Amino acid sequence: MQKAIKTLYMRGGTSKGPFFNEADLPSDKALRDKTLLAVMGSPDRRQIDGIGGANPLTSKVGIVSVSNTPGVDLNFLFAQVVVDKALVDTTPNCGNMLAAVVPFALETGLVKPQGDTTTLRVLTLNTDMQCDITVNTPNGQVSYEGDARIDGVPGSSAPITINFLDTAGSVCSGLLPTGKVLDVIDGIEMTCIDNGMPLVMMRAKDLNRTGYESVTDMNADTELKAKLEDLRIKAGHLMGLGDVTSKTYPKMCLIAPPKDGGSIATRCFIPHVCHDAIGVLAAVTVGTACVLDGSITQGIANVPTGNTKKVSVEHPTGEFTVELEIDPNNPQNVTKAALLRTARLIMRGEVMVPENI
């Protein structure tokens, strides 16, 4: 006998995974996590006995419910299911999977469409962060077809706009958790920052790399990965995160001058695998560092003038543009972060979990 659990398998941005109504999962956290491990097939590097894609970007889960918080429509809990460990991490957020939350809620009847477009406020429970998400709903149906393109996803889709309302200090104590815009660990200068995602940013050249290496070369660079992990563990303590050895944050990001007309070039590790692109909230955090005076990006990033800045973050498969609004009375204060994503419903049905779970 196996247990059937209703699910929608969805792409959100450059990630994908199963989405669940919270009511369809066990309320006990330990049992819920055991269930999600069984769903995805972890721990196993191929996730052969589950529906995980054997990659951190395709081993993600979304859990959605109607919110009781005043002014909020939906709650979203993101779960990163580690591929080769029996670990479900619900501490960080995922801005890519976030893009599929409103489509899921509309598809499953948790909420009703509002007209040709539907805008709902979503509370991410992982980081207590709110955002407004707008999707196209012509004739009361979620539309997935359109002309919006995002690097890392083939073809085009209907646009989904996400306006983050408060991202500073999503996991850490604040935007700059060390209290400094620039820190030094083992002689390496870095900016430790959290504007939606805890991130440690370093110049690639300080680690004897160009910052333009391919993802394959980065993942094969065992010397670099060992150094980054050593720095990550030390930075974790400095950022007030404690021992991050078994945590999926902070992410590590190598930066270099832009190569293809953007604002800055990046190679991000999540945290032990080089990302094919860049996470949504990592891009927001990188963009924020670019507008902070004295950060590691100074002298590297090309940032437009004005209080509204579009920062183009280059990554291995293209670029990611983040629109930031700056407080005119305090240029160090980012008041708004907005961006464009897409999503698609891939499959609906039931996922089977062994009864003994």
Task: Report the phi/psi class of residue 240: left, alpha or beta, with left for phi > 0 and alpha for psi in -120 to 50.
Answer: left
> Quick one: pLDDT band at residue 152, thresholds 50, 70, 90?
confident
> Quick one: pLDDT band at residue 160, thresholds 50, 70, 90?
very high
Report pLDDT for 286. 97
- Residue 5: pLDDT above 80? yes
Burial of 27 (0-12, 13-18, 19+ CB in 10 A): exposed
Query: pLDDT averaged over the chain?
Result: 95
- How many whole angstroms from its chain centre is CA 237? 22
Segment 179-208, tens digit of pLDDT: 999 999 999 999 999 998 999 999 999 999
Question: Which residues are bridge partners to 265 per DSSP?
Answer: 256, 314
Segment 98-148, tens digit of pLDDT: 999 999 999 999 999 999 999 999 999 998 989 999 999 999 999 999 999
Residue 178 located in a structural domain: no
Q: Are residues 15 and 35 in the same domain?
A: yes
Q: Are residues 193 and 331 in the same domain?
A: yes
What is the tally of structural domains in the chain?
Answer: 2
Range of the domain at 264: 183-338
Burial of 243 (0-12, 13-18, 19+ CB in 10 A): exposed
Residue 259 located in a structural domain: yes
CATH number, domain with residue 115? 3.10.310.10
Of 211, 11, 191, 190, nearest to 100 (Cα)? Answer: 11
CB 89 within 8 A of CB 248: yes
Q: Are residues 153 and 214 in the same domain?
A: no
Q: Are residues 58 and 124 in the same domain?
A: yes
Residue 167 located in a structural domain: no
- Residue 331: pLDDT above 80? no
pLDDT above 90 coverage of the chain, percent = 85
Q: Are residues 127 and 247 in the same domain?
A: no
CB atoms < 10 A from the CB of 34, how many? Answer: 17
Q: Degrees (nearest 5) of the Cα angle 299, 304, 310?
A: 115
Mean pLDDT along residues 241-256: 96
CB atoms < 10 A from the CB of 168, how many? Answer: 20
- Residue 46: pLDDT above 90? yes
Mean pLDDT along residues 6-20: 97
Residue 49 located in a structural domain: yes
